[in-house]
Amino acid sequence: MGRNNNARCANGKGTGGSPGDLRMRLGRQKGKAGDGDSHSDVHGEAGVWKKFLSRRTHVSEYGMVSAVSRLAVIIPARFASVRLPAKALADIHGAPMVVRVLERVRNASGVDAIAVATDDARVKDAVERAGGRAVMTSAACANGTTRVAEVARSVPADFYVNVQGDEPLLAPGAIERVAALLRAGAPMATLARPASLEELGRASVVKVVLGAGGRALYFSRATIPHSRDPHVVAPLAHVGIYGFASATLHAFAALPETDLERAEGLEQLRAIFHGIPCIVGVGDYGSPAVDTQEDLDRVRALVQPLSDSRT
């Protein structure tokens, strides 16, 4: 990720200040919170962020909207991919992968708007041929979240769910669970599932440990927590779907990269570093992402017999 591209892509001009100014404003807001701010639908510190978000529901500086509980799902789908070139357009039984993802999202309940965020006209054309909406994003976008933040400027909503464009088997229920966490007051939400012992040693499987109220304490490619007794804490694998309250999305995208996220290669550690509560729903949400040709072959074999897209 580029260190400076994030703020330019997500905010452009007229953001009301630099990322440093934004952090100062967030710090002042949290510093003003009184004793009554410790209450939240999720947990105490999230309550501070929840109050921060509610105070800015109508503030154009953060791109806020006035609609109540409007949910948008944004699907970042780049054309370029080092390990599997043009994977967004890879054919899965007659439809490009990005369209297969779109089909899954359409089956989720409570979604008010869906858009694909892409940097390539070929992906945009494929989505539009399937009756979907696609928005071209800036080449300056360093990652999926900054693409989502950019598209959010033309897709107004109170909550945004970032569904990866390489998750053609994602269960619609996973989107609904993230949306429920956001509507319950989580500034940021994601999912996790039980991890197998074989997965613990694989750096490609991101692990997460949780605190009170399901708040993420840390994400890592290493085995966490280290346990002398494996029966004390069940290991969890992170599922790559993210939800944001609108204000959190724009604030997050404007913040610079941190050393932690660079070290692990995990963007969500930016939230942990800056104290943004990320609430994690745990369940059987496993769905294979497509990163290699082998992944694609496996997904093709799984998609073919599917008859119910909600499973």
Residue 181 pLDDT? 97
The single-letter DSSP state of residue 189 is: E
| Helix, strand, coil abundance in the chain, percent, nearest 5 | 40, 15, 45
Q: Omega before 277 cis (within 30°)?
A: no
Residue 85 pLDDT? 86
Residue 9 pLDDT? 61
Question: Angle 144-152/246-254 helices, nearest 10 degrees?
Answer: 130
Residue 6 pLDDT? 42
Cβ partners under 8 Å of residue 22, min gap 6? 15, 16, 251, 254, 255
Residues of the chain with pLDDT under 70: 1-68, 304-311
Listed by start position, the domains of the chain span 5-303
Asked: is 5-303 a CATH 3.90.550.10 domain? The reply is yes
Kindly report the pTM of this predicted structure: 0.77
Residue 200 pLDDT? 87
Kindly report, residue by residue over 153-212, the tens digit of the pLDDT.
999 999 999 999 989 999 999 999 999 999 999 999 999 999 988 888 888 889 999 999
Residue 33 pLDDT? 34
Task: Specify whether the CB–CB gap between 148 and 165 falls below 8 A.
Answer: no
